[in-house]
Amino acid sequence: MSKILITGGAGYIGSMLCTKLLEEGHTVTSVDLLKYDKGSLNHLYHNKNFKLICDDIRKVNLMKKLIRKHEIIIPLAALVGAPLCEKFKKDAISTNLGSIKTLCKYATKKNRVIYLTTNSGYGIGEKNKYCDENSPLKPISLYGKTKCDGEDLVRSKIKNHVCFRLATVFGHSYRMRSDLLVNNFVYTAIKKKKLILFEPHFRRNFIHVRDVVSAIIFTMKNFNVMKNDVFNLGLSTANISKIMLAKKIKKQYKNLQIKIITNRKDPDKRDYFVSNKKIEKKGFKAKISLDRGIAELIQIFTNDKNKVINNY
């Protein structure tokens, strides 16, 4: 069993990942400021193999010590999403990129690093072509740029690494978010009974948060055959447009009205389909369908009256 360091372990992916790794018998340390959700790790404090350090990953001496003590490092802490990064540009650069520079400086060949970035780095894809790992990265937002630059650093500086370019994540987490596209569409459908779409043809790839966690655990178990490479990570049956997603939700939530507005632009210009063949050839395939995820989210947003606190 491994000693694992996760930055941002209280976040949307991190809280699910910490939970699963502890179930698998690993020792997990997380560094997180608990800025958005103070309670997403409450269910883990009983576990003697779990430790939370409530502190800032930009503290170089802190991270230097922790990097040396842990075998596997999964840096998830970041200002996530284009609006948040635009609002706090300096913090976005120092957190998303500065912390990765620190990691690259102090990681040795004893460390194994699994780095997650966003496939929003593909920006606007070609009309009838899937983006694969050789497609050019053309991030539109500061968020996309900091994450792509972080990937470049990890790939060039760290001896043992695996990088994932994540599809848009959906599904329930201990630190819930309703701003991610599938989650947001279902949340809006339940609360307002109406979805208003701009540029409904824009395409995206999706993946359930539990499949992201499964992919990380698969990588830990198969590190030597995957190391020093980059993989798209998404659900291959979930390369769909916004209007297709809205119709999937309407199938399960009949009260939903879908309205398309033609005279407004979507501020999020991402538009691409993504190939996940490379990771699938290594033996990992995302399994949780969009339909299952939508059913899960309908139950959550209908029955859970707790307020969801998003990043911005």
User: Which tens digits make up the pLDDT trace of 112-138?
Assistant: 999 999 888 888 777 778 999 999 998
pLDDT over 70, % of the chain: 98
What was the pLDDT predicted at 36?
86
Q: Are 104 and 153 spatial neighbours (Cβ–Cβ below 8 Å)?
A: yes
181-204+237-269+288-303 CATH fold: UDP-galactose 4-epimerase; domain 1 (3.90.25)
What was the pLDDT predicted at 218?
98
Q: Distance (Å, rounded) from C-alpha 295 to C-alpha 302?
A: 11
Residue-wise pLDDT for 25-50, tens only, equals 999 999 999 988 899 999 999 999 99
Q: Distance (Å, rounded) from C-alpha 229 to C-alpha 114?
A: 10
Q: Do domains 3-170+206-235 and 181-204+237-269+288-303 have the same CATH topology?
A: no
Q: Give every CB contact of residue 61 below 8 A, 6+ residues apart in sequence.
A: none
185-220 burial: b if 16+ Cβ within 10 Å, else e:
bbbbbbeeeebebebbebbbbbbbbbbbbbbbbbbb
User: Under CATH, which number does the domain 3-170+206-235 receive?
Assistant: 3.40.50.720
* Residue 170, SS3 per DSSP: strand
Q: Distance (Å, rounded) from C-alpha 4 to C-alpha 113?
A: 10
What was the pLDDT predicted at 267?
62
Nearest Cα to 159, choosing from 231, 118, 106, 94? 106
Domain ranges within the chain, ordered by starting residue: 3-170+206-235, 181-204+237-269+288-303
Which parts of the chain have pLDDT scores under 50? none
3-state helix, strand, coil in the chain (%, to 5): 40, 20, 40
